[in-house]
Amino acid sequence: MKALHKKVNIVPVIAKADCLTKTEVKILKSKIIDEIEEHDITIYQFPEGESDDEEFKQQNLELKGSIPFAVIGSNTTIDVNGKKVRGRLYPWGITEVENPAHCDFGMLRNMLIRTHMQDLKEVTGDVHYENYRLQCIKSDNATPVKRTGRMKRESVIIEENNEKDRMLLEKEEELKKMQEMLKKMQAQMDQQNQNQNRSTTGIV
C-alpha cells in the first residue's frame, strides 16, 4: 500500500470476513485504520456532497464507517428458504455474500460500480495520473541518464528498422534475379520454337 497509494485509488478490504466474528471484524477494522494513519497512507477519500444533499452525505458516512470493507467471496449458490443465494455453507449455518448483515460486499459493489465509479475515474485521471506525469517530467529534467536510456532504446529501434530495410532489399534483389531468369528461360523457349518451326518448314 505504501508503494501504491500515490499511484492508484486504494480501497481497503478484509477478505474471508466469515472467518471472524462481528466483534473481531470491528477490532480488525479499527486496527487497520490506525495502521493506515500511522504509516501516512492515503486511501480513497469520498467526495463531500452538496449541503442540501442529505441522502448523499448519509451514504458517504455509511461508506466511511465501513472502511475497510469486510467481504465474503463464493462461486456457489445455495438454496435458502426456496431462494437461490450466493454464499458459503457451514455446519453451523450459512453466510450470504450479498446479505448486509453478514458482510459489506453489497456496499462495496454499489460504491465501485454505481455511486462512486465516476469519481474514482476522475481522481485517477486528475490526481494520480497528473502527479505521475509531473514526477516523470521532473525526473527527466533532473536525471539525464534516463534520456540516455531512451536514446539507447531509440537506437535499438533504428537498428531494427535498418535490419528490416536490409531484408526487404535482399528480397527485392532475389525477385529481380528470378524475373531475369524467367526472361532468359522464356527467350530460350521462344528460340527453340523458332528453330522447330524453321526445321519443319525446311522438311516440307
* 78-107 residue pLDDT tens: 888 888 888 888 888 888 888 888 889 989
Q: Is the pLDDT of residue 158 over 80?
A: no
β-bridge partners, 69: 13
Buried b (16+ CB within 10 A) or exposed e, 132-147: eeeeeeeeeeeeeeee
* pLDDT surpassing 50 at residue 178: yes
DSSP 8-state assignment for residue 101: T
Burial track 173-196 (b if 16+ CB lie within 10 A, e otherwise): eeeeeeeeeeeeeeeeeeeeeeee
The band of 202, judged by pLDDT with boundaries at 50, 70 and 90, is low
The reply to whether the predicted model has a pTM over 0.75 is no
User: pLDDT digit string (tens) for 107-154?
Assistant: 999 889 888 888 888 888 888 888 888 888 877 654 443 333 444 444
Contact 70, 62 (CB under 8 A): no
- pLDDT of 197 reads 65
Report the pLDDT value the prediction gives residue 154, as an integer from 0 to 100: 45
Q: What is the CA radius of gyration of the chain?
A: 36
Cβ count near 66 (within 10 Å): 15
For residue 96, the cross-strand partners are 87
Phi-psi region of 106 (alpha: psi -120 to 50; beta: other; left: phi over 0): alpha
